[in-house]
Amino acid sequence: MEVQAAVLFAPQTRFEIETLALADPRPGEVLVRLVASGVCHSDYHLVTGDTKHPLPLVAGHEGAGVVVAVGSGVSRTRPGDHVILNWAPACGGCFYCQHEKPNLCDTFVEPLWAGTMLDGTPRLSWRGQPIYHYCGLATFAEYAVVAQESCVPIRQDVPLPVAALVGCAVATGVGAAMYTAAIRPGESVAVFGCGGVGLNILQGAALCGASPIIAVDSSPAKMAIARQFGATHTLLAGEQSVQAIRELTNGRGADHALEAVGRPAVQELALEAIRPGGTLTLVGLSAMGTGTNLPGAVLVRQEKVVRGSYYGSVNPGRDFPLLLDLYMAGRLKLDELVTQTYPLSQINDAYDAMLSGEAARGVILF
């Protein structure tokens, strides 16, 4: 079939809307009609070249839609199902899956980074040339063929434009607070960066019963938004923010700092903001090849803990439906995350708005 898709042909260029050929699903694969795809900064790392990946490709990894057809052997979903797409599919049988870390499953890592389906070949092409799939999903297109392991069926009374955000920003942020950092009631939390992921870290910290919850960002416009999503205090980023965090935590520093920007300078600032014995959780995606100066003497003498959070340490099959249940119960804000919507033809405008700080989360609607 033919589909309209946003193609990135080379780093440092704009997305181009092209008509591509999409092959039928093979055994174990599912054809999904995309309804919505979130505009996430991780995809923009492909544009800057900070994330290395085979090109040309169709990006997009935060999507939701309706199953149209399935290949042979598919047992996890069927036509008509509403699904959120999972960019870290898990096999269920490897070392990490068996140790309750499906977000770290290594079975599918090689084909996903090669930009192919699990059999090592792409389903997209343009003028006879292969077009690669980002994260095995390629949601910046009207339709996508994905592995059944990438489909999480969901309840059908949730609007798919907000469900799409659960596939990355919401799961990554809420999960980082609830699962990776395992914040306990009454613990103090500082969140650095109030974009789509950071706002969901704030929500997760509030769900965990944290207090105070301190939001730090360089944009004054995000201060009111951060309070809407659970922050009890807001601070503009800078040298004085660490001292302000200490003053809000009885002079000690926060029990937890979670960094959602992915910049070494912000990571280093967040380390300063935690108390001795506190935990820094790195959630933001850093550019490949970058390094962060985390002083060993401080880590040892003050027993500070630094850990990474990949996909919020979630189990998508368990947690996507749980997050939607929290939304339907009024305990999780999703509608408020969608600040602007765009047709696929305006995808470059959507990224311009994201980079300018205008949008917490833009969403492409098909």
Q: What is the pLDDT of residues 72-114, one digit of tens each?
A: 999 999 999 999 999 999 999 999 999 999 999 999 899 999 9
Res. 355 pLDDT band, cuts 50 70 90: confident
Q: Which of 37, 42, 241, 309 is catalytic?
A: 42
Kindly state the average pLDDT of the residues 165-192: 97
Exactly one of 168, 286, 309, 313 is catalytic; name it.
Answer: 168
pLDDT in tens, 22-59: 999 999 999 999 999 999 888 989 999 989 999 999 99
What is residue 358's predicted lDDT score, i.e. its pLDDT?
A: 65
From 37, 41, 53, 61, the catalytic residue: 61
User: Which run of H or of E encompasses 258?
Assistant: strand 254-259
Is residue 330 predicted with pLDDT exceeding 70?
yes
Q: Is 61 a catalytic residue?
A: yes
Confidence at residue 361, expressed as pLDDT on a 0 to 100 scale: 79
Q: Which tens digit of pLDDT belongs to each residue from 223-269?
A: 999 999 999 999 999 879 999 999 999 999 999 999 999 999 999 99
Task: Check residue 131 and give its pLDDT.
Answer: 97
Report whether pLDDT(360) > 80.
no
Compute the average pLDDT of residues 312-328: 97
Cα distances (angstroms) measured from residue 243 to each of 140, 249, 273, 298, 300: 43, 10, 8, 17, 22
Residue 45: active-site member: yes
pLDDT, residue 316, reads 96
- What does pLDDT average to over the chain? 94
Tokens of 110: 């090689």
pLDDT at 291: 83
**pTM of full prediction above 0.85:** yes
pLDDT on residue 239: 74
Query: How much is the average pLDDT of 172-176?
Result: 98
> Which one of the listed residues 40, 151, 194, 208 is annotated catalytic?
40
3-state secondary structure string across 196-254? HHHHHHHHHHHHCCCCCEEEEECCCCHHHHHHHCCCCEEEECCHHHHHHHHHHCCCCCE
State the pLDDT confidence band at 359, using cuts at 50, 70 and 90.
Answer: low
- pLDDT at residue 257, rounded to an integer: 98
168 catalytically annotated: yes
Q: Which pLDDT tens digit goes with each residue over 109-162?
A: 999 999 999 899 999 999 999 999 999 999 999 999 999 999 999 999 999 999
Q: What percent of the chain has pLDDT over 70?
A: 99
In order of their start, the domains of the chain are: 2-168+313-365 (3.90.180.10), 182-308 (3.40.50.720)
